[in-house]
């Protein structure tokens, strides 16, 4: 006999009560015992539609094992690591029951006990606390009420290869500063170098300062800077910058990146909407097309997307365009002076002593007339790593002067350029040494061949690799 829902029973009863069909005919056509139909009619007359509901068992949901110890044993076996299959647990319970002369429970009973164990408890027991945290622990997400209340900062290695100055294919790093409230991008810095404190400082400087593009309005000092525990974010320099600008630093908990999901979502959007269509885009570290872009061209493509697409289109979470949401009724707090803002850009070095010929730094000599009165004094220098033509000199924490390297004052030279030049010079010297060694070797071989030609019939002398040559060589040779 098929199972009938209360609605189906109701329809049959209405037909019978209206006289459209007899109870006997219904019993015959639907293959239902006549006494069952009479029971339905009786229940409907007493309770109405609820009387047609199937009666629930009073012991439904209860495990039919009389011995509570078997239930605890089953749960204990289910929480073991490595996890046992339900079949293996069932066999263990059956064997133990027979050993104690008890009636073994059914497989369904064991299955029912295990199925009712809290999934969070099972994951914690089988996969550990980290997996449990990722899925079940409550996450505290900070929600902002205004722009510049919280800025998030993070780095990512972009899934694209570009061509560097030496013609090599390399993957760049992107440092991003995002306004948590509006999801607007306040500043970025793209570099071929791994994340560092200076990358973070350069991105922050751009984020806080006013932009040249009038369409990029985001600026000002945030109340909170939210980052991870990377050494670049936890550096003494970034800490001092935040103290100077009265920015509160917050760090996400170690091993729990969920709090930075907004900025990581932006990185994913950048991949899906920009990088995937550019030459050199990579999947699992391998480019799917030939890289052709320079670092500047990649930065231009990313900035075009941020300013002309990302900022002006409604965000999926907020329902508003980030640039409009950031600027609505908001006046940013700006630094007191450009000198204070420069603290974000200029790297502070250990004290140096002013020599008679100026200040020695990075193998170069910096001079300024003001330094004449400070020979032998300890000073502190700050510099822009993208331009080593000049440095700023501070004496007892007060700005003293700008010192210039006369050799490169007419051009902008970066620290990377200096390092490249040093390597080029060193490699050139190594090449000269190699050429000299090859020249000496060829001369020796030539002299030995000439000697053998002058004395024909002279047996060839086996060369002793450990014996020094007696041939005298001169500088002009």
Query: What does the alpha-carbon distance between residue 394 and residue 370 come to, in Å, rounded to a whole number?
Result: 12
Query: What does the alpha-carbon distance between residue 148 and residue 326 come to, in Å, rounded to a whole number?
Result: 8
Listed ranges 100-114, 227-241, 329-343; the one with the highest mean pLDDT: 100-114
Q: Count the neighbouring beta carbons within 10 Å of the beta carbon of residue 239.
A: 13
Q: Residue 465 has what pLDDT? A: 53
Query: What does the alpha-carbon distance between residue 335 and residue 221 come to, in Å, rounded to a whole number?
Result: 7
Q: What mean pLDDT is predicted for residues 178-183?
A: 93
Strand extents, DSSP E, 210-335: 224-227, 248-251, 282-283, 286-287
- What DSSP line would sit under 172-225, residue for residue? -EEEEEEETTT--EEEEEEESSPP-HHHHHHHHHHHHSPPSSTT----S--SEE
Query: What does the alpha-carbon distance between residue 181 and residue 151 come to, in Å, rounded to a whole number?
Result: 8
Give residues with Cβ within 8 angstroms of 262, minimum separation 6. Answer: 152, 178, 180, 183, 317
Q: Which residue has the higher pLDDT, 250 or 256?
A: 250
Q: What mean pLDDT is predicted for residues 148-172?
A: 92
What does the block give as tokens for 394?
A: 């501070």
Q: Is 390 helix (H, G, I), strand (E, B) or coil?
A: strand
458: confidence class by pLDDT, cuts 50, 70, 90: low
Portion of the chain with pLDDT greater than 70, in percent: 79
Tokens 């006046």, located at residue? 331
Q: Residue 475 has what pLDDT? A: 46
Q: What mean pLDDT is predicted for residues 103-120?
A: 86
Average pLDDT, the chain: 80
347: confidence class by pLDDT, cuts 50, 70, 90: low
- pTM across the whole model: 0.54
Q: Residue 77 has what pLDDT? A: 87
Does residue 455 carry a pLDDT above 80? Answer: no
**Signed CA dihedral, 378, 383, 385, 389: sign only:** negative
Q: Output the CA torsion 431→432→434→436 (10° steps).
A: 160
Q: Residue 230 has what pLDDT? A: 61
Q: What mean pLDDT is predicted for residues 163-181?
A: 93
Does residue 462 carry a pLDDT above 60? Answer: no
Q: What mean pLDDT is predicted for residues 161-170?
A: 92
């Amino acid at each position: 006999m098929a199972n009938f829902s209360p609605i189906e029973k109701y329809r049959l009863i209405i037909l019978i009560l209206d006289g459209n069909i007899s109870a006997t005919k219904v019993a015959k056509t639907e293959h239902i015992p006549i006494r069952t139909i009479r029971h339905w009619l009786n229940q409907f007359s007493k309770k109405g539609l609820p009387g047609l509901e199937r009666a629930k068992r009073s012991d439904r949901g209860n495990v039919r094992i009389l011995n509570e110890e078997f239930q605890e044993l089953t749960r204990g076996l289910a929480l073991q690591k490595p996890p046992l299959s339900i079949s293996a647990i069932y066999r263990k319970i059956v064997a133990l029951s027979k050993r104690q002369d008890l009636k073994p429970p059914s497989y369904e009973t064991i299955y029912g006990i295990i199925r009712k164990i809290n999934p969070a408890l099972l994951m914690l027991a089988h996969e550990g606390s980290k997996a449990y945290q990722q899925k079940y622990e409550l996450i505290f997400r900070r929600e902002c009420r205004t722009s510049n209340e919280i800025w998030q900062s993070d780095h990512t290695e972009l899934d694209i290869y570009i061509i560097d100055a030496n013609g090599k294919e390399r993957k760049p790093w992107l440092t991003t500063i995002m306004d948590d409230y509006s999801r607007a991008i306040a500043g970025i810095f793209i570099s071929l170098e791994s994340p560092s404190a200076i990358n973070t400082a350069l991105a922050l400087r751009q984020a806080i300062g006013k932009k040249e593009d009038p369409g990029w309005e985001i600026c000002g000092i945030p109340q909170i800077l939210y980052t991870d525990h990377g050494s670049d974010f936890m550096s003494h320099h970034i800490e001092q910058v935040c103290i100077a600008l009265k920015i509160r630093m917050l760090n996400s908990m170690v091993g729990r990146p969920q709090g930075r999901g907004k900025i990581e979502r932006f990185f994913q959007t950048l991949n899906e909407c920009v990088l995937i269509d550019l030459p050199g885009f990579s999947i699992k570290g391998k480019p799917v097309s030939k890289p052709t872009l320079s670092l500047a061209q990649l930065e231009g493509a990313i900035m075009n997307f941020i300013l002309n697409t990302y900022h002006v289109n409604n965000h999926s979470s907020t329902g508003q365009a980030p640039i409009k949401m950031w600027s609505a009724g908001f006046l940013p707090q700006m630094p007191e002076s450009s000198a204070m803002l420069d603290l974000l850009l200029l790297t502070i070095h250990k004290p140096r002593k002013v020599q008679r010929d100026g200040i020695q730094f990075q193998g170069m000599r910096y001079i300024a007339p003001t330094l004449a009165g400070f020979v032998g004094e300890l000073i502190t220098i700050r510099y822009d790593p993208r331009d080593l033509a000049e440095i700023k000199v501070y004496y007892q924490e007060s700005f003293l002067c700008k010192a210039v390297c006369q050799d490169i004052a007419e051009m902008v030279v970066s620290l990377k350029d200096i390092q490249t030049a040093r390597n080029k010079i060193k490699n050139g010297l190594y090449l000269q040494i190699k050429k000299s060694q090859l020249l000496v070797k060829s001369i020796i071989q030539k002299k030995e061949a000439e000697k053998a030609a002058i004395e024909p019939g002279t047996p060839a002398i086996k060369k002793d690799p450990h014996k020094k040559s007696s041939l005298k060589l001169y500088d002009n040779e």
